[in-house]
Amino acid sequence: MEILRQTWANLTANKLRSFLTMFGIIWGVVSIVILSGVGEGFQRGNRTVLEELGKNIVIIRNGRTSLQAGGTRAGRAVRLTIHDVHALKARSRLLEHISPELMRWGAQVKSEFNASSLQMSGIWPSFQSMRTIEVDRGRLLNQADCDEARRVALIGFDSSRQLFADRDPTGRQVMIDGLPYTIVGRLRKKSQDSNYTGEDNQRLFLPYETMRRDFPMPEASGTADSISAIIAAPRPEVTAALIERIDREGIRFMGLDSRGPVEDEVRAILAPRHGFLPEDTEAINFWNTALSTAMFGRMIDGMHRFFVAVSVVTLLLGGIGVMNIMLIAVRERTREIGVRKALGATSAAIERQFFSEGLALTLVSGAIGFGIGLALSALVNLAPMPERFAGLILTWQTAAFAVAALTAIGVAASVYPARRASKLPPIEALRYEM
């Protein structure tokens, strides 16, 4: 209490000087809270948008050979089939989930209220978790829908609005090219900024087995076994290793040229089935979204480090201000120091007194800054947020860093003035005149 009382007395002795000193620390802590919150909010918002396409998935599509193999010419089309999906599911060590996707464009869909031309995809249930397919009405497709080839469908949010306006579409029937289907679920509104076939908001999703029976691949595009794409999700440790490798190697990482471990394994399994060389990187097309996630993470990390550096510099300037006011306090209280030493106060006691005052001044200013930063963050978060920004988010790591940085700067700013005060000779201090 004596330390706080003395600190308060020193602050009120020169209010303007004290305010400017405290303002430096306050603004430094506010900068850490706000800038770190901006970086975290931007990272989470963009990650959410990226994951609307899928959570670290690999999209495998038809390609064309670029190398001669087995006497066949280069430039031959490679078309994926449902048997490739089963082969990958049985033999792959790196893939955790997999699903075929059979696409069709321009299906004529009619409800009792309206009609539209929509894109459809036939899928397995595992597709839904990989591609972040979530419903706000009804249910998702399940294994029984596939096993029994039921005529059921999921409808995209925008497609539902077009066919049913504001009505709940679940349980209602639509005619797809003259065949009756029951809507079992409506997708939530997705903020999707990337796709490979069109926005999910404007599509229908059917069980793969049902779509293969009712809407098979046209003969001109393949056979009854042909599919449009394979969607797969690598095991978490595979994705983690890939991201770590990208962080380590940066732009030198050759996975950007379809030479990652997952791509190599898929080509090794499918090459004998389609008669192309495993090293032919163009025979099958890949889109590994983990690459986009990793590159984005590197960009965000760089931005975050810059924000932290700016905040720390601001806080350091505030620490210099604290040191300055403590040195002035030592000069103004020189006679007081002399009296205390003459009465028996040790140099260690004088040093502890001034060190404690400087540290208390720093920590009190920091607490005020932390409170202001939290209040500003809460105020900003009340406003509508842009699509790629999740608001000002304070993490425990940021809070711990702010406390550690503040304490370190407080200690550094208090040590020198405290030692200077403790080394004043008592006789010279008593003789000192302002």
* CB of 185 closer than 8 Å to CB of 143: no
Least confident of 2-11, 68-77, 79-88: 2-11
Task: Output the average pLDDT for the chain.
Answer: 82
Per residue in 81-110, pLDDT (tens digit) is: 999 999 999 999 999 999 999 999 889 999
* Alpha-carbon gap, residue 370 to 381, rounded angstroms: 16
Report which DSSP code applies to 196.
S
Arithmetic mean of pLDDT, 22-27: 82
Per residue in 182-201, pLDDT (tens digit) is: 999 999 998 877 778 888 99
* Alpha-carbon gap, residue 329 to 3, rounded angstroms: 14
How confident is the model at residue 257, as a pLDDT?
52
How confident is the model at residue 434, as a pLDDT?
47
Q: Which long-range contacts (CB under 8 A, 24 or more apart) does 395-402 make?
A: 395/36, 395/40, 398/32, 398/33, 398/36, 398/37, 398/40, 399/370, 401/32, 401/36, 401/308, 402/29, 402/32, 402/33, 402/366, 402/370
Is the model more confident about 304 or about 128? 128
Which is nearest to 375 in space by CA: 394, 395, 354?
394
CA distances from 402 to 28, 34, 145, 199, 355 (A): 9, 11, 53, 42, 20
Percent of the chain with pLDDT over 90: 34
Check whether 372 has a pLDDT greater than 70: yes
Quick one: pLDDT band at residue 258, thresholds 50, 70, 90? low
Arithmetic mean of pLDDT, 46-61: 83
Secondary structure (3-state) at 345? coil
* CB of 255 closer than 8 Å to CB of 291: yes
Least confident of 148-162, 208-222, 272-286: 208-222
Check whether 162 has a pLDDT greater than 60: yes
Per residue in 259-303, pLDDT (tens digit) is: 688 899 999 999 999 888 888 888 899 988 877 777 777 777 777
Least confident of 185-189, 273-277, 360-364, 371-375: 360-364
* Alpha-carbon gap, residue 206 to 155, rounded angstroms: 9
Polymer length of the chain: 434
How confident is the model at residue 55, as a pLDDT?
80
How confident is the model at residue 232, as a pLDDT?
94
Per residue in 329-357, pLDDT (tens digit) is: 666 666 666 666 666 667 677 767 777 77
How confident is the model at residue 7, as a pLDDT?
63
Place of tokens 């679920």: 185
Which is nearest to 124 in space by CA: 104, 144, 105, 139?
144
Per residue in 132-143, pLDDT (tens digit) is: 999 999 999 999
Beta strand 284-288 pairing with 58-64:
antiparallel
* Alpha-carbon gap, residue 257 to 136, rounded angstroms: 38
Which is nearest to 121 in space by CA: 160, 176, 79?
176
Least confident of 67-71, 117-121, 207-211, 305-309: 67-71
Check whether 153 has a pLDDT greater than 80: yes
Check whether 369 has a pLDDT greater than 80: yes
Place of tokens 């502890």: 352
How confident is the model at residue 51, as a pLDDT?
77
How confident is the model at residue 246, as a pLDDT?
72
How confident is the model at residue 340, as a pLDDT?
65
* Alpha-carbon gap, residue 398 to 234, rounded angstroms: 31
* CB of 349 closer than 8 Å to CB of 412: no
* CB of 423 closer than 8 Å to CB of 62: no
Q: What is the DSSP string of 130-154?
A: HTT--EEEE----HHHHHTT--EEE
The verdict on pTM exceeding 0.85 is: no
Per residue in 391-418, pLDDT (tens digit) is: 788 877 877 877 887 788 777 777 766 6
